[in-house]
Chains A and B, each alone.
Chain A
Amino acid sequence: QKEVEQDPGPLSVPEGAIVSLNCTYSNSAFQYFMWYRQYSRKGPELLMYTYSSGNKEDGRFTAQVDKSSKYISLFIRDSQPSDSATYLCAMNRGSNYKLTFGKGTLLTVNP
Protein backbone atom coordinates (compact mmCIF):
# COMPACT_ATOMS: atom_id res chain seq x y z
CA GLN A 1 0.00 0.00 0.00
CA LYS A 2 1.39 3.37 -1.00
CA GLU A 3 1.93 5.87 1.81
CA VAL A 4 -0.26 8.50 0.14
CA GLU A 5 -3.04 7.83 -2.35
CA GLN A 6 -4.65 10.54 -4.44
CA ASP A 7 -7.09 10.12 -7.31
CA PRO A 8 -5.39 11.69 -10.35
CA GLY A 9 -8.67 12.64 -12.01
CA PRO A 10 -9.00 14.47 -14.28
CA LEU A 11 -11.85 16.35 -12.66
CA SER A 12 -13.93 18.75 -14.75
CA VAL A 13 -16.56 21.00 -13.15
CA PRO A 14 -18.63 24.04 -14.18
CA GLU A 15 -17.78 27.46 -12.78
CA GLY A 16 -19.38 28.01 -9.38
CA ALA A 17 -19.34 24.33 -8.39
CA ILE A 18 -18.07 23.04 -5.06
CA VAL A 19 -14.98 20.92 -5.59
CA SER A 20 -13.80 18.18 -3.27
CA LEU A 21 -10.25 16.83 -3.57
CA ASN A 22 -9.10 13.98 -1.37
CA CYS A 23 -6.12 11.97 -0.21
CA THR A 24 -5.77 8.94 2.00
CA TYR A 25 -2.62 7.89 3.79
CA SER A 26 -1.38 4.83 5.59
CA ASN A 27 1.35 6.15 7.90
CA SER A 28 -0.16 7.21 11.22
CA ALA A 29 3.07 9.09 12.01
CA PHE A 30 2.13 11.85 9.57
CA GLN A 31 1.32 14.95 11.59
CA TYR A 32 1.45 17.83 9.12
CA PHE A 33 -0.71 18.10 6.02
CA MET A 34 -0.41 20.47 3.11
CA TRP A 35 -2.00 21.21 -0.23
CA TYR A 36 0.09 22.48 -3.11
CA ARG A 37 -1.32 23.95 -6.31
CA GLN A 38 0.51 23.62 -9.60
CA TYR A 39 -0.49 25.64 -12.65
CA SER A 40 0.46 24.38 -16.08
CA ARG A 41 4.17 24.84 -16.83
CA LYS A 42 4.86 26.13 -13.31
CA GLY A 43 6.27 24.64 -10.13
CA PRO A 44 3.94 23.74 -7.25
CA GLU A 45 3.20 26.39 -4.63
CA LEU A 46 1.90 25.94 -1.10
CA LEU A 47 -1.83 26.64 -0.88
CA MET A 48 -2.75 25.60 2.66
CA TYR A 49 -1.45 23.61 5.59
CA THR A 50 -2.81 22.15 8.79
CA TYR A 51 -1.45 20.02 11.60
CA SER A 52 -4.47 18.82 13.48
CA SER A 53 -7.73 17.11 12.83
CA GLY A 54 -10.54 19.43 11.91
CA ASN A 55 -11.12 22.20 9.39
CA LYS A 56 -9.08 25.21 8.35
CA GLU A 57 -10.60 27.85 6.12
CA ASP A 58 -8.93 30.42 3.89
CA GLY A 59 -11.30 32.33 1.66
CA ARG A 60 -12.95 29.91 -0.75
CA PHE A 61 -10.67 27.06 0.35
CA THR A 62 -11.20 24.68 3.28
CA ALA A 63 -8.70 22.01 4.30
CA GLN A 64 -10.06 19.14 6.35
CA VAL A 65 -8.12 16.44 8.19
CA ASP A 66 -9.52 13.29 9.76
CA LYS A 67 -6.62 11.51 11.44
CA SER A 68 -8.77 8.68 12.71
CA SER A 69 -9.67 7.77 9.13
CA LYS A 70 -6.30 8.87 7.67
CA TYR A 71 -8.16 11.06 5.20
CA ILE A 72 -7.61 14.64 4.14
CA SER A 73 -9.69 16.85 1.87
CA LEU A 74 -9.54 20.20 0.15
CA PHE A 75 -12.83 21.92 -0.65
CA ILE A 76 -13.11 24.78 -3.11
CA ARG A 77 -16.31 26.82 -2.97
CA ASP A 78 -17.58 28.89 -5.89
CA SER A 79 -14.88 27.47 -8.13
CA GLN A 80 -13.41 29.76 -10.77
CA PRO A 81 -11.63 29.05 -14.07
CA SER A 82 -8.49 30.43 -12.40
CA ASP A 83 -8.64 27.45 -10.00
CA SER A 84 -7.84 25.13 -12.93
CA ALA A 85 -4.60 23.45 -11.89
CA THR A 86 -3.15 20.25 -10.46
CA TYR A 87 -3.62 19.94 -6.71
CA LEU A 88 -1.12 17.87 -4.75
CA CYS A 89 -1.55 16.77 -1.19
CA ALA A 90 1.62 16.47 0.89
CA MET A 91 2.41 15.37 4.42
CA ASN A 92 5.29 14.73 6.78
CA ARG A 93 6.10 13.55 10.28
CA GLY A 94 7.88 16.69 11.39
CA SER A 95 10.32 19.37 10.36
CA ASN A 96 13.26 16.99 10.03
CA TYR A 97 11.46 14.64 7.71
CA LYS A 98 10.97 14.82 4.00
CA LEU A 99 7.63 15.64 2.48
CA THR A 100 5.61 12.83 0.91
CA PHE A 101 3.43 13.93 -2.00
CA GLY A 102 0.31 12.48 -3.53
CA LYS A 103 0.33 12.12 -7.30
CA GLY A 104 -1.89 15.14 -7.81
CA THR A 105 -5.42 15.70 -9.14
CA LEU A 106 -5.88 17.68 -12.35
CA LEU A 107 -8.84 20.05 -11.98
CA THR A 108 -10.47 22.00 -14.80
CA VAL A 109 -13.15 24.60 -14.03
CA ASN A 110 -15.15 25.41 -17.14
CA PRO A 111 -16.61 28.93 -17.60
Chain B
Amino acid sequence: QVQLVESGGDLVKPGGSLRLSCAASGFTFSDYYMSWIRQAPGTGLEWVSFIRNDGDDIYYADSVKGRFTISRDNAKNSLYLQMDSLRGDDTAVYYCARGHGQLEAWGQGTLVTVSS
Protein backbone atom coordinates (compact mmCIF):
# COMPACT_ATOMS: atom_id res chain seq x y z
CA GLN B 1 0.00 0.00 0.00
CA VAL B 2 1.04 3.60 -0.59
CA GLN B 3 2.85 5.03 2.40
CA LEU B 4 4.36 8.47 2.97
CA VAL B 5 6.24 9.18 6.18
CA GLU B 6 7.44 12.70 6.98
CA SER B 7 10.19 13.53 9.44
CA GLY B 8 12.35 16.45 10.49
CA GLY B 9 9.81 18.72 12.15
CA ASP B 10 11.06 20.55 15.22
CA LEU B 11 11.04 23.75 17.26
CA VAL B 12 13.27 26.34 15.61
CA LYS B 13 13.98 30.02 16.25
CA PRO B 14 12.95 32.71 13.77
CA GLY B 15 15.58 33.02 11.08
CA GLY B 16 16.60 29.41 11.51
CA SER B 17 16.60 26.50 9.08
CA LEU B 18 15.11 23.03 8.97
CA ARG B 19 15.06 20.18 6.46
CA LEU B 20 11.99 17.99 6.16
CA SER B 21 12.07 14.54 4.60
CA CYS B 22 9.36 12.29 3.24
CA ALA B 23 10.00 8.59 2.71
CA ALA B 24 7.77 6.98 0.11
CA SER B 25 6.91 3.32 -0.35
CA GLY B 26 4.30 1.14 -2.00
CA PHE B 27 4.46 2.81 -5.42
CA THR B 28 6.96 3.76 -8.11
CA PHE B 29 8.11 7.08 -6.65
CA SER B 30 9.90 8.19 -9.81
CA ASP B 31 6.61 8.10 -11.78
CA TYR B 32 4.88 10.82 -9.76
CA TYR B 33 4.89 14.53 -9.05
CA MET B 34 5.14 15.15 -5.32
CA SER B 35 3.96 18.06 -3.19
CA TRP B 36 4.31 19.70 0.20
CA ILE B 37 1.19 21.11 1.82
CA ARG B 38 1.02 22.84 5.18
CA GLN B 39 -1.68 23.53 7.75
CA ALA B 40 -1.21 26.15 10.42
CA PRO B 41 -2.78 25.29 13.82
CA GLY B 42 -6.56 25.37 13.66
CA THR B 43 -6.65 26.67 10.12
CA GLY B 44 -6.95 25.53 6.53
CA LEU B 45 -4.55 24.08 3.99
CA GLU B 46 -1.89 25.86 1.94
CA TRP B 47 -0.02 24.36 -1.01
CA VAL B 48 3.66 25.05 -0.45
CA SER B 49 5.50 23.44 -3.34
CA PHE B 50 5.48 20.67 -5.92
CA ILE B 51 8.15 18.97 -8.00
CA ARG B 52 7.89 16.94 -11.18
CA ASN B 53 9.02 13.32 -11.18
CA ASP B 54 12.28 14.22 -12.94
CA GLY B 55 12.81 17.32 -10.81
CA ASP B 56 12.64 19.72 -13.75
CA ASP B 57 9.30 21.40 -13.02
CA ILE B 58 9.05 23.08 -9.63
CA TYR B 59 6.45 25.39 -8.13
CA TYR B 60 6.58 27.46 -4.94
CA ALA B 61 3.88 29.47 -3.22
CA ASP B 62 4.73 33.16 -3.09
CA SER B 63 4.81 32.94 0.71
CA VAL B 64 7.87 30.64 0.63
CA LYS B 65 9.57 31.55 -2.65
CA GLY B 66 13.25 32.31 -2.13
CA ARG B 67 13.27 30.72 1.34
CA PHE B 68 12.22 27.10 0.74
CA THR B 69 13.74 24.56 -1.67
CA ILE B 70 12.04 21.35 -2.71
CA SER B 71 14.09 18.42 -3.99
CA ARG B 72 13.85 14.68 -4.45
CA ASP B 73 16.07 11.62 -4.67
CA ASN B 74 14.34 9.00 -6.80
CA ALA B 75 17.01 6.41 -5.95
CA LYS B 76 16.09 6.78 -2.28
CA ASN B 77 12.32 7.23 -2.84
CA SER B 78 12.54 10.43 -0.86
CA LEU B 79 11.21 13.96 -1.05
CA TYR B 80 12.75 16.90 0.80
CA LEU B 81 11.93 20.45 1.80
CA GLN B 82 14.79 22.72 2.85
CA MET B 83 13.36 25.62 4.82
CA ASP B 84 15.54 28.68 5.47
CA SER B 85 14.86 32.09 7.02
CA LEU B 86 11.94 30.62 8.93
CA ARG B 87 9.27 32.95 10.31
CA GLY B 88 6.52 32.60 12.87
CA ASP B 89 3.89 32.25 10.17
CA ASP B 90 5.68 29.15 8.87
CA THR B 91 4.49 27.32 12.00
CA ALA B 92 2.36 24.45 10.74
CA VAL B 93 2.00 20.75 10.21
CA TYR B 94 3.75 19.95 6.94
CA TYR B 95 2.38 17.11 4.83
CA CYS B 96 3.93 15.47 1.84
CA ALA B 97 1.47 14.21 -0.74
CA ARG B 98 1.51 12.34 -4.03
CA GLY B 99 0.48 14.35 -7.05
CA HIS B 100 0.31 17.98 -8.12
CA GLY B 101 -3.35 18.11 -9.11
CA GLN B 102 -5.58 16.01 -6.93
CA LEU B 103 -3.54 14.74 -3.97
CA GLU B 104 -4.10 11.01 -3.92
CA ALA B 105 -2.13 10.08 -0.83
CA TRP B 106 -0.87 12.01 2.18
CA GLY B 107 1.60 11.39 4.95
CA GLN B 108 0.69 11.85 8.60
CA GLY B 109 2.48 15.20 8.77
CA THR B 110 5.35 16.65 10.75
CA LEU B 111 5.05 19.70 13.01
CA VAL B 112 7.28 22.71 12.50
CA THR B 113 7.15 25.34 15.23
CA VAL B 114 8.96 28.64 14.73
CA SER B 115 9.29 30.52 18.00
CA SER B 116 11.91 32.23 20.11
Bind each other: no
